[in-house]
Chains A and B, each alone.
Chain A
């Protein structure tokens, strides 16, 4: 076995690999860019080597720098993680030449599978079912349009070297092919240094289901499937294992094809064969990822297999110690990818300091398991140079329903401040009836959230829950306030019992709160003062805590709360819903109703920078007439080029920045007349 390995990656995956290596008694070497010198993976590793400036194409993607770090530290093997150099055959070759073990597949497998055109030809030969498409290299836009017309719409344009949704576009028309071809090429170039793209038929109502394989160059087994249909713009958001869609026969058929493909390339290490599955359970080979997948923890949770350990053992020359019959699927696991993005503002990336980062406690409680793979820490930085993923929160339970419930609860305990994050959105998906029913397709998010996300509507039951938690929290704050020193002698303030809880402009509830054994009795009253329902809340919550844990009428409730600044009230978050809940005395509530609503400042005539980023281009001039939907400017953030489009027709009055400028969020890019 190796004594020391180097992890040629960063973030959560580097930390994940280090954990297994440490358990196996292997020393670890981290590499880091200038932006990552305080990163968690650097802290966790036994040694760390700086490999260059922040941009990954000057650090994590430079093979020579990694080789230098290997020499410096005497590492015997390299785990590439995912992304970066993980599927770069040149890297694997370079390691081979230096006599360093690559904790990943053989060069041939990477080369064949790494090129999507070659891999498809290969899969056809190995009798793996594939999607119709054009496999050649496409020369220009005109050819792209011609090919797309032949295949029939919709088509998908993809980077030959790509993965993870980068450089991928779906086109429904000739214009979109033309547009998408160009941007796909430029994104492929900047992300992978390879601008080849190809086009294939886009299967509608598809599910994304992938098979995990483990192989040692001779033997190969499949380790169950993962369903990754919940994607936003081809970026996976929620994954689960097993798939709620597969029956044993389909699972076996897919697994056997995957194994056949792996064997055909003498596959060695962990790999993933991705399929598109249509509603009739026809499945088509999509691609094989010759690396550890981001979502591998769900497989680990339902099989109890440490995939990284097997990768390391196989790379060290050990034979695959598992037989197909050893793989047993147990229970259900869900993974939520927590991204630094603002779900309320069209998921724009958010960067900055993690002022608060408090994930839910990991471990086993009863039949439920919580696992959180992360590469960040409170006080750390989400930098604009890398992937915006903060953490992968996983839950496991005996059934899908319970795993989802566990996820809902874990999400509600996850506290992140300082940057925007998608936890409310993830919470909303967990609560979505269609998600719960398992009727998934890769179009789920686009179909169910066609106009973006604005929080799930607060149902009457939730409104009651919000009201009760707010009443409890308010009661404790108010009760504490009555304990202040210097009060008139013998005249300590008595707490009022009559309150009105309200949020928004049209929801309010009269409540009567009374301390009772082990908590608070709260009666809901009609406007006339008649009791309409009685509730009991118990909790150990004390002022200052940002997560409320307690029981309402005996049912456990977990909710996030924050004291609203400048308002009497609390910002509550629960399972994808949020509300600013105000608790006032009855009289104060009456007065509040007299107050006029404040009108928000009009920003419709401005184009504001939606995220911190770099202006790539300004595509209009002063005085130019623009039509709704026309591209106004391109801002780059998180390596993604974001095209900012006109929301309505107008005439450009003033432009406040130029290409190359670095902008903060909400800075004015241009103004309309």
Chain B
């Protein structure tokens, strides 16, 4: 027994060294932490329980049997974040460059299976060189096994991927199927095919950073939901995110003590909407003044900025916030904004997170670029997502709610639960100018008449009353009371029950 314990200790020490001190130092030189360091930072102190520390690969090709490292390039296990369980796997770049083998994949699928069975999030930290070529089809099979678990876990437990180094080829598809992807600036990149292959096939010359760096994926491709300056900040922020997320689709949202008065009034919101309807204002101010302690975890902050998505808390409980941003493209819905918000709404619905929507939308963005790009289907995604969502839905129209976009933004007609409007709301088919030009086409040459028609239209339709008269909004509320009213509505809706008809699954317009 004593001897075994001694051996165990030795093997543990050996395993913990991964690919050895030289490679650990190399990792540090690149400004990166090792897999175990990242895990240590992410989880509560001393809470990590490692699985499969002694697993080694079983490949016999190309002399691989002579090179074995315990753990086989991935560190897996579970631990807690503020006492709540999470599963984690972290690619170990110091061992075979973190490349994926059959056994490596098996370690990952083990925690994925456990996560589904026990209802806890799975976090993947990526920093690896792709498939272990020597393993051939075994590696490809391994990927497939991981992908399958990603799909099975989707909507059951939250899955988060953090790209903290290279992530290419087969490695990208597992993150792609998780709920959120984050990246680390300057040290991570992510692409299906790398710069060398790109050069050969399309003759484009690009660097890894230009092809798949954090800035590309957070601003252009929208593959990543956020980026952080370094590993330490990434792990800290990941802990912050976990505190917002339910453990699973049946756990309910986390709740924690709050110090912010739910009835806090914000008189300044009464002047948020400018007198001129064409002047922008910052919708984030409303978001920050509504949620507890102005603590808002924004997702896709630098992509499709015309819509804001992210998590906040009200009365200590997580809510998903979707808000049009008049500061960018007047808050219009375009393809990108629709996709961004649709995915977020669906995440919230999967995990029973109530959705609070702030609406100031002039409509859908016109133009060939949008129509050719499939705006119809992209717009329909958001429409679809809001409609199918059965979680509590509270909506506040602050200013414009025009046309089809009015319907889309969590309107009463899409089973919105509580729909409020500020006195500044204008719920109409379109703005006055456009409407008058259509309705009074015959008077187009007569500026005086057009002006009178415009005034008449504004007086009749550009207010919350027409919608209120029909019960399309439940009440007109004062801006300064928004937090109190939203909080009370959410309290009312906490036990909401609504089920969609049984189906195998729906057919979202992809």
Contacts and interface: CB of A to CB of B under 8 A. Distances in A.
Interface of A: 37-38, 353-357, 377-381, 480-488, 491-493, 496, 542-545, 563, 566-568, 584-585, 587-588, 591-592, 594-596, 598
B229 A482 contact: no
A545 B257 CA distance: 15
B259 A487 contact: no
Nearest to B269: A379
A591 B41 contact: yes
Interface string B264-294: 0001111110010000011001000000111
Interface string B232-274: 1100110000010011000110111101100000011111100
A492 B268 contact: no
A379 B479 CA distance: 12
Count class of interface residues, chain B: 35 or more
Contacts of A496: 45
B63 interface: no
Contacts of B28: 594
Contacts of B45: 496, 585, 587
Interface string B11-51: 00000000000000000100101000100110011000000
A587 B83 contact: no
B485 interface: no
Most buried by B among A355, A485, A543, A598: A485
B232 A379 contact: no
B461 interface: no
Given A492-B83, A591-B33, A595-B231, A484 B268 contact: no
A484 B236 contact: no
A484 to B, nearest CB: 4
B173 interface: no
Contacts, number: 111
Interface of B: 28, 31, 33, 37, 40-41, 44-45, 80, 82-85, 185-186, 228-233, 236-237, 243, 246-247, 251-252, 254-257, 259-260, 267-272, 275, 281-282, 285, 292-295
A492 B82 CA distance: 8
7 closest A-B pairs by beta carbon, nearest first, are: A379-B268, A487-B83, A544-B293, A493-B83, A542-B259, A379-B271, A596-B31
A585 B44 CA distance: 11
A412 to B, nearest CB: 20
Interface of A (DSSP majority class): loop
Contacts of A480: 256-257, 259
B256 A488 contact: no
A483 B254 CA distance: 10
A545 B268 CA distance: 17
14 contacts: A353-B285, A379-B269, A481-B243, A482-B82, A485-B256, A493-B44, A543-B260, A568-B233, A568-B236, A587-B40, A587-B41, A588-B236, A591-B37, A595-B230
Nearest to B119: A486
B267 A486 contact: no
A482 B259 CA distance: 15
A59 to B, nearest CB: 16
Given A355-B285, A481-B82, A487-B82, 17 more contacts: A354-B268, A355-B268, A480-B259, A481-B256, A485-B254, A486-B84, A486-B247, A488-B80, A544-B295, A566-B233, A585-B45, A588-B232, A594-B31, A594-B33, A595-B231, A598-B185, A598-B230
A558 B445 CA distance: 66
A581 to B, nearest CB: 14
Given A496-B45, A595-B230, A484 B255 contact: yes
A596 B31 CA distance: 6
A192 to B, nearest CB: 30
A493 B80 contact: yes
Contacts of B232: 584, 588, 591-592, 595
Contacts of B231: 591, 595
* Central interface residue in A353, A381, A588, A591, by most chain B CB within 10 Å: A591
B271 A380 contact: yes
Contacts of B282: 353
B243 A379 contact: no
Contacts of A594: 28, 31, 33
A487 B37 CA distance: 23
B267 A378 contact: yes
B40 to A, nearest CB: 7
B230 A596 contact: yes
A295 to B, nearest CB: 29
A487 B84 contact: yes
B41 A544 contact: no
A378 B268 contact: yes
Nearest to A379: B268
Contact of B267 (A379, A483, A585, A596): A379
Contacts of A482: 82-83
A355 B294 CA distance: 12
B255 A485 contact: yes
Contacts of A381: 271
Contact of B272 (A379, A484, A493, A584): A379
Contacts of A354: 268
A598 B233 CA distance: 13
Contacts of A481: 82, 243, 256
A380 B31 CA distance: 45
A483 B255 CA distance: 8
Nearest to B257: A483
Nearest to A541: B259
Contact of A484 (B40, B83, B185): B83
A26 to B, nearest CB: 28
Contacts of B252: 486
A595 B37 contact: no
Contacts of B229: 566, 598
Of B186, B268, B272, most buried by chain A (CB within 10 Å of CB) is B268
